[in-house]
Structure 1
Amino acid sequence: MSPRESLRALAQWGVLGALVGAVCGVASAVFLFLLDEATALRERMPLLVYALPVAGLAVGALYARWGSSIRGGNNLVLDTVHETDRQIPLRMAPLVLLGTVLTHLFGGSAGREGTAVQMGGSLADAIAHRFRVSADTRRELLAAGIAGGFGSVFGTPIAGAVFSLEVLVVGRLGYEALLPALVAAVVGDLTTRGLGIVHTAYPAPGVLPLTGGVLAKWVVFALAVAAVAVVFVEGTHRLKKLLEGRLPALPLRMAVGGLAVVGLWKLVGTDMYLGLGVPTLVRAFVDPALPEAAFAWKLLFTAVTLGAGFLGGEVTPLFFIGAALGNVLARVLGLPLDLGAAVGMAALFAAAANTPLALTIMAVELVGASVLPHVAIVATLAYLLTGHRGIYPAQRIARLKYGGPLLGKLVPLRELPGESPGSAFARKSSDSAGNPQGKR
């Protein structure tokens, strides 16, 4: 490539990446504003939680009528990156935004990243088709959409860029999309902040030197994180499979799930497991009296909410679960409380999403460099220990985590021989929703 062609390519990625980042940043700002308003309203009017089954019925009817082609969610975005014979419908952005805000308004336990990634993917694909770019450029723009959505919704642009490259293929980074992803993530974050959005501030842990004894503790810590990640992934998938088998109609399934969340809420007698749960997440960094079962309750609330089909994502609930688990493990193992919460917060999502590098960087962006090297060690070990499963069954894999020969082609996690029940469900569910999941 000549210098002129290189400059032309750089200019193209700068312009297109910035455009994707700007629209993702605006979408994230609108989403986060509405999410804050919905959460504040629910906290002022806790009786709204009783209406969660009705909200599930309404959102389910909405998706049954207009959302059949987008029910693959994040997996649809990932599949589209690898299979360019489809377009992500633009209506995914407003529908997932509305569904997620309603989920949080009425107390469902869900996150934000799923909505941000889906909005980013649909908006980026619309831009790609508007400019009639090549198939390769379109794939890279979709990665930029993931980066712009993820980076802007959490205020972590570098992690957003790396996440978009790491999440596509397990164990491999797609460097061909690095520049547009980085531009989109940085511009998206600047846009969201420029529109007045303030992200959650987490306590910064102190420095802990790495010694042999500390390393041994982190190995035990990673074992516990991996076990909880497996429970979350498999539990959510199994519950969703069970509910789909018993209640094929999405509106009814979501209404029953809403009833279950209301029942859990009354059983525990506290609001701390509803919605995002950010106050309790931050509390895990500083409170040695945090209930030991907090991570398990949040896992259950989230598995029921997402398993029933409510909209949102997994990141913030996994942050909550990981930080609360880290709080308990730090007390047991004699580690600093704030460091245990920070490492648990990042490592649990790294294990569940197969993205240890992105979450190591994200931990640094959120709490500072003192979390190194501990978070990298735990995230990597937990990622390996969870096996070939994850919250995104559409992730491709070229070589098994433990090495061996290349598989010959990129294989979705859901299609690996000996796949887990969760992966098998994901393929069946996505196919039944009208979203082909890969060429067989």
Structure 2
Amino acid sequence: MIKKIKGSFEQFAIASHLIRWTILAIPLSLTVGTLVALFLWLLDKATRLRWQQEWLLWLLPLAGAGIYWLYKKLGRNSEAGNNLIMDEIHQPGGGVPARMAPLVLLTTVITHLFGGSAGREGTAVQIGGSMAHLLGRWIKLTEKDLRILLMMGIAAGFGAVFGTPLTGAVFALEVLAIGTIRYDALVPCLIAAVFADTVCSAWGIHHTHYAIHFTDGKATPFIPFLQMDLWLLSKVVLAGVAFGMASYLFANSMHLIKHYAQRFIRPAWLIPVAGGVVIIVFSWALGTRDYLGLGVYSKEPGGVSIVNAFQAGGAHTWSWLWKLLFTAITLAMGFKGGEVTPLFFIGATLGNTLAILLGAPVDLFAGLGFIAVFAGATNTPIACTLMGVELFGTSHVLYFAVACFTAYYFSGNSGIYKAQRLAVPKRVEQD
């Protein structure tokens, strides 16, 4: 009888806990979902204006100097971006300033307007983190609860910006440390991500739809009870290795470019100016502007883009490498935005190239690269597998998991987030 009473009290405490976090998620999700919707709307307008007014690219170095000045005068510790939020979750300290949200929103739009190669996830996550910290400070949460609220902010921003709330929730739990997941914020993060995505969609924001039309109905010859194509699976493993190596190359290129730029370019405001000049020179030398901006769509119908990479002939052999270089230079040299959408581009175009080399389905391998390069660069294989399900459906979930897990291991113990901690190394030494 006593055990039953204790059990009832326990369930009551759990219900109270979830109701409390649901109440806290409502204002956070309303704010983050609305700001992300505004950000995506402005980003679309900036991209279309850049397509119409191609001369704007020539002002990219000047835009870089302006971004440097804005952060120098107004940013304070906001310059650290996503890493600041992750550090604050690991070890509360100076806090996440509310000014981070409007500042990163404005400077990311400037980056895209003038032709920088960047994404949008970083901006959305920083919006979520700064708004979460502001709310937590207003209602005087404890350090433990503030950590959970910050994770909810990450989940809300990520889920809303890509229209993938389940991925957003798991990403917020998985990205903090390599090899482990925080479960203390599992349901609060899911609630925040779902609410924020709903709010963002309610503002009329429509996310890009991707489709994999390939159907895998072929069993392995001579093994009738094994209902999968082992030959195709082996190609997916090989592609996963390549995706992981691309993740490793991207992350280390960013770190190296940033290190050497800060070491050799003086004064500091010249770093983004130099980065802008390099982007202009590369665009001129290649004779294309397909590697600028987000890269989800191309101005020209036959250009290289994420959407076109799902079709044969939608990418060139080295498209993935050019996007990698354009993005690494843009972000490492002081421009603002996220890394994830460029990682989608790198993965989808690399998948397109590998499909042709291996004789595999183009749309399937573009989709695998889309999620697997992201998995390797952020060390979040479970979240990225779920992203494959949310974006492409459940038909190829085994291939999603194999590609993401393989890329995760072959990307090494590094990643794009320096504040990400190493909890469980990918290679464990034998006793």
Structure 2 letter corresponding to 1:123:
M
Mapping of 1:374-393 within 5 angstroms?
374-393=399-418
Partner of 2:124: 116
Residue 307 (str. 1) matches residue 332 (str. 2): yes
Partner of 2:313: 288
Which consecutive unaligned segments of at least 5 residues does structure 2 have?
Answer: 1-8, 218-227, 298-304
Residue 396 (str. 1) matches residue 421 (str. 2): yes
Partner of 1:98: 106
Deviation by residue 1:59-78 (Cα, 9 ceiling, x = unmatched): 11111112131111111110
Is residue 250–residue 309 contact of structure 1 (8 Å, CA) maintained in 2? no
Local SS of the residue matching 2:184: helix
Displacement of 1:264 after TM fit? 0.8
Is residue 347–residue 382 contact of structure 1 (8 Å, CA) maintained in 2? yes
Partner of 2:165: 157
Structure 1 letter corresponding to 2:329:
V
Is residue 308–residue 314 contact of structure 2 (8 Å, CA) maintained in 1? no
CA RMSD of aligned residues (A): 1.3
Partner of 2:21: 13
Partner of 1:240: 258
Partner of 1:323: 348
Report % sequence identity.
Answer: 44
Partner of 1:419: none
Distance 1:49 1:350 in 2: 31
Mapping of 1:340-359 within 5 angstroms?
340-359=365-384
Residue 134 (str. 1) matches residue 152 (str. 2): no
Change (3 A) 1:2 1:169: same
Local SS of the residue matching 2:136: helix
Which consecutive unaligned segments of at least 5 residues does structure 1 have?
Answer: 406-440
Change (3 A) 1:358 1:249: farther
Local SS of the residue matching 1:208: coil
Distance 1:127 1:290 in 2: 44
Is residue 61–residue 250 contact of structure 1 (8 Å, CA) maintained in 2? no
Structure 2 letter corresponding to 1:96:
V
Displacement of 1:194 after TM fit? 0.1
| Equivalenced residues, count | 405
Partner of 1:146: 154
Distance 1:156 1:291 in 2: 29
Partner of 1:438: none
Distance 1:226 1:8 in 2: 43
Displacement of 1:269 after TM fit? 1.1
Distance 1:203 1:47 in 2: 34
Is residue 166–residue 194 contact of structure 2 (8 Å, CA) maintained in 1? yes
Moved over 4 A (4+): none
TM-score (norm 1): 0.90
TM-score (norm 2): 0.92
Residue 275 (str. 1) matches residue 293 (str. 2): yes
Displacement of 1:397 after TM fit? 2.0
Is residue 166–residue 355 contact of structure 1 (8 Å, CA) maintained in 2? yes
Q: Which of 284, 292, 297 is equivalent to 1:266?
A: 284
Displacement of 1:248 after TM fit? 4.7
Is residue 59–residue 251 contact of structure 1 (8 Å, CA) maintained in 2? no
Distance 1:241 1:292 in 2: 29
Displacement of 1:349 after TM fit? 0.5
Structure 1 letter corresponding to 2:229:
T
Residue 367 (str. 1) matches residue 392 (str. 2): yes
Partner of 1:208: 216
Distance 1:336 1:266 in 2: 33
Displacement of 1:288 after TM fit? 2.8
Is residue 288–residue 337 contact of structure 1 (8 Å, CA) maintained in 2? no
Distance 1:198 1:375 in 2: 24
Displacement of 1:136 after TM fit? 1.1
Partner of 2:224: none
Q: Which of 238, 241, 244 is equivalent to 1:220?
A: 238
Distance 1:178 1:205 in 2: 33
Is residue 109–residue 275 contact of structure 1 (8 Å, CA) maintained in 2? yes
Partner of 1:67: 75
Displacement of 1:404 after TM fit? 5.6
